[in-house]
Each structure stands twice: as structure tokens, then as C-alpha cells.
Amino acid sequence: MTQVQETLPHLLGQGPESHGPKLRQYVTFLVGDSIYGVDINLVREIKQWSPTTVLPNQPHFTRGVLNLRGTIVPVHDLRARFGGAMTAPTETHVVVIVWIGSKTVGILVDAVSDILGVPSEEIRPVPMGQSMGDMSAIGGLVSTQAGMVALLDLNTLFPGGDEDAF
């Protein structure tokens, strides 16, 4: 085995002696003053806001649909999904295009913030209790220098993603 073959797996954290923390990566974004994150493996792309086509009988938090290179994608307003008012989008707002199961869904947010690498052991559980309300869509919490990041569980936040994104 050459020195490169011996060294490369260790640099990638894949060697048999590698005991370093496993990093999970999240795309973080802002909604108001709150920071949220989604697993980077679920993010297809990030797109500047563009008007959507409103369809009848959509959920209150759905902005409409957009055509993403031939794929019709429902766009949900994360602020409204969390019980706030609908966002008045401007050209600075972005839509994070994600996969939920086999469906592609857009999430309207105020701005993309960063890509966050987090060792798995630093992800904290969400406190439970009646005083906390429904936290089922939050998969964990991470403390950063910018503040607390709530990691979203997209399957819980937008149930039926594998069957029907609405």
C-alpha cells in the first residue's frame, strides 16, 4: 500500500483508527430573528424568490407553485407554517428547494445564513413539556456563536411529503 493510500482515508475520517467526531452538515437560514437548519443532503438548490402561481384550496402556509425546470414545486412559507403572518417576499428572500421523500418542495425563508458542520454529539434534544408547545418538527438544537439553531425535521413539518407535498 502506498503512503497516499494509507493517508487519504485518515484525512477523510474514514480510516480504521479514525475516532474523530462525525460531522453532520446543515444549511442554515433565517426566518425573522430565528435560525433554522436542514440536513445539507436534503437541499437540492437555493433560489431567489420569484412569484408563484396560487392554486385553490392550498394550506394557509403555501404560497403556490413554481416551475423549476419542468418540475412543478409547491412553495411553503416557513414563517406562516410556524404560525406567523405570511411573508411579504422581496427579491432578497430565497426559496430553499429540498427533497422530502420523493417530492421536491420549496421553503420560503428570509435569507440563507451558512453551512454548519456539527459533530453528532453536539446536537441537543428539544425540551419537552406542555409549556413548550408542539416541537415535533424540530429534530434537535445546536448552540453556535450566532445563536441557537433549530434543526428541522422536514417529514414532520410537511407531512405527506412522500405522497403529496400539499
All three cell numbers of 135? 416541537
| Residue 85 CB contacts under 8 Å (≥ 6 apart), including other chains | 79
Q: With 0.85 as the threshold, say if the pTM is over it.
A: no
| pLDDT exceeds cutoff 60 at 15 | no
Grid cell in block for residue 131 = 409549556
**Predicted confidence (pLDDT) per residue in 135-149, tens digit:** 788 999 999 998 999
- Express each pLDDT in 65-81 by its tens digit: 999 999 999 999 999 99
Quote the pLDDT of residue 116.
95
Q: Inform me whether the pLDDT recorded for 17 exceeds 90.
A: no
Higher pLDDT, 131 or 97: 97
Note the pLDDT of residue 75. 97
Class of residue 139 by CB neighbours under 10 A (exposed 0-12, middle 13-18, buried 19+): buried
Q: Residues with Cβ < 8 Å from 86, sequence gap 6 or more? A: 61, 63, 77, 79, 80
